[in-house]
Chain A
Amino acid sequence: ILNVEQSPQSLHVQEGDSTNFTCSFPSSNFYALHWYRWETAKSPEALFVMTLNGDEKKKGRISATLNTKEGYSYLYIKGSQPEDSATYLCAFRSTGNQFYFGTGTSLTVIP
């Protein structure tokens, strides 16, 4: 079982603040790195799929970067809004097509 770690475990920020989370993963057998947002009472939804070292993806106020050589990815949220409150999961996809999830970062945006 591969170890995927996310930090921090939880985060409370004020509306309008920018924030970022970290996902660390093994640098071997790497195929892709996924980010998902999981809102309460809903199913996880894909945010980004990144494959290449140095990849940067952006969707609105949310962006992510990838460093496969050192085994980490950052997720950034600019100008947090209450609707951004959710658990953010990263998943390491191995060359064996297995997905290993971190335990997530729980974000609460306070209005």
Chain B
Amino acid sequence: GAGVSQSPSNKVTEKGKDVELRCDPISGHTALYWYRQSLGQGLEFLIYFQGNSAPDKSGLPSDRFSAERTGGSVSTLTIQRTQQEDSAVYLCASSAFVGTVHSPLHFGNGTRLTVT
């Protein structure tokens, strides 16, 4: 079956513009996570969805960042008024029913965002 799909794979945008990043998880995976990796840094947690609800939004760096998930499937991460410090690789991961202790995360290939 298909893995986690992210689009676009690359995005170059001007400072101040809004961007939308999309994640299509593995079918049936109820848990969905967004991370980002800035240059030289580790994976930084952004937000976690269980179904359509987000029990943990604590990682969103500012109110310019928002995310939603519809139908328990596709998720979009929106960054408004982008800044240069938003440049990073944004990774999405999904996992089977969250109560299954041995479920690993399945990652997409990421979206490389460059803000000029």
B-contacting residues of A (Cβ < 8 Å)? Answer: 1, 31-32, 34, 36, 42-46, 49, 51, 89, 91, 96-104
Which chain B residues border A89 with CB–CB below 8 Å?
Answer: 42-43
A93 nearest CB neighbor, chain B only: B101
Does B35 sit at the interface, judged by CB under 8 A?
Answer: yes
Stretch from B14-22, B62-70, B71-79, B107-115 contacting the other chain: B107-115
A46 nearest CB neighbor, chain B only: B104
Q: A97 to B31, Cβ gap below 8 A?
A: yes
Shortest Cβ distance from residue A103 to the other chain B in the assembled complex, whole angstroms: 4
- Given A43-B91, A43-B110, A89-B43, A99 and B101 touching (CB < 8 A)? no
In-complex Cβ contact of B45 among A31, A49, A99 (8 A):
A99
Q: B42 to A102, Cβ gap below 8 A?
A: yes
Q: A103 to B105, Cβ gap below 8 A?
A: no
Which chain B residues border A36 with CB–CB below 8 Å?
Answer: 104-105, 107
Which chain B residues border A100 with CB–CB below 8 Å?
Answer: 45
Work out how many contacts link A and B, with CB atoms closer than 8 A.
56
B4 nearest CB neighbor, chain A only: A43
Q: A101 to B35, Cβ gap below 8 A?
A: yes
A49→B105 CA distance, assembly (Å): 10
Q: A43 to B108, Cβ gap below 8 A?
A: yes
Size class of the contact patch on chain B: 20 to 34
- Given A51-B101, A96-B56, A42 and B45 touching (CB < 8 A)? no
Scoring B residues 46 to 74 as 1 if CB is less than 8 Å from chain A, else 0, what string do you get? Answer: 00101000011000000000000000000
Which chain A residues border B43 with CB–CB below 8 Å?
Answer: 89, 101
Known contacts A44-B91, A103-B42; 4 further A-B pairs (Cβ under 8 A): A32-B102, A49-B101, A51-B101, A97-B50
- Which chain B residues in 27-48 approach chain A with CB under 8 Å? 31, 33, 35, 41-43, 45, 48
Q: B103 to A49, Cβ gap below 8 A?
A: yes
Which chain B residues border A101 with CB–CB below 8 Å?
Answer: 35, 42-43, 45
Shortest Cβ distance from residue B110 to the other chain A in the assembled complex, whole angstroms: 7
